Amino acid sequence: MTKLSVNINKVATLRNSRGGNMPDVVKVALDCEKFGAEGITVHPRPDERHIRYKDVYDLTAKIKVEFNIEGYPSPKFIDLVKAVKPTQVTLVPDAPDAITSNAGWDTDRNCQLLTDIVDEFTELGIRTSIFVDADLHMVEYAAKTGTDRIELYTEPYATLYPKNREEAVRPFVEAAKLARKLGMGVNAGHDLSLENLNYLFVNIPWLDEVSIGHALISDALYLGLEKTIAAYKACLKNI
């Protein structure tokens, strides 16, 4: 079964725009859990412009589903992960001022750095995932780090999908096949939506997890959170 992890960064962005605690990030996470999401994802950034470090601790104390913390492995981020011990940490190569993730790791050039971090988290029993493009060379070098999983950066898939979905999905299928051959699990995330998610799943049915935030939270403005989560979970079936 492919799990749905809801990224709640956008909920925190809305809260931070006015101060106070509306909407309540923890309540939304618990509602996602109640409505069937199998995971919650957060991506705290150094300026805390959406998810705050305090949110991570508050969520850890409340949610029961898998907790996935994404981020660049700065010393502050590593200390947070070691303190919280989430189910999974997803390592991304974001610059501090990045608006959103826009590329995977160069796992060849950063192999030793990533290996050291993966080893550190593995010793604590934290599952690791490395954010990569659908590039076979980068998938191969991700495996050399000892990571449990990769997360495929799916923005290129989402961009090409409306024009040629077969061409769009092809490199992702090949990358996922190689990852499986090398013993890694496969996650996917970025710009996945109700429009393109099922086709990705049908072509890569062994996906372990998809992490979806922007489109899902946007859809919830129209459909409501409960119906939206049900709709995304329906995309993760052979329909």
* pLDDT digit string, tens, across residues 3-28: 999 999 999 999 999 989 999 999 99
Q: Residue 97's pLDDT band (boundaries 50, 70, 90)? A: low
Q: Residue 96's pLDDT band (boundaries 50, 70, 90)? A: low
Quick one: pLDDT at residue 239?
64
* pLDDT digit string, tens, across residues 36-64: 999 999 999 988 889 999 999 999 999 99
pTM of the model: 0.95
| Active-site residue list | 43, 70, 190
pLDDT at 102 over 80: no
> Average model confidence (pLDDT) for the chain?
96
Quick one: pLDDT at residue 103?
86
* Domains of the chain, first to last: 3-235 (3.20.20.70)
Cα separation, 2 vs 237, in Å, equals: 9
Quick one: pLDDT at residue 100?
58
Query: What average pLDDT does the segment 194-209 reach?
Result: 98
Q: Are 152 and 185 in contact (CB under 8 A)?
A: no
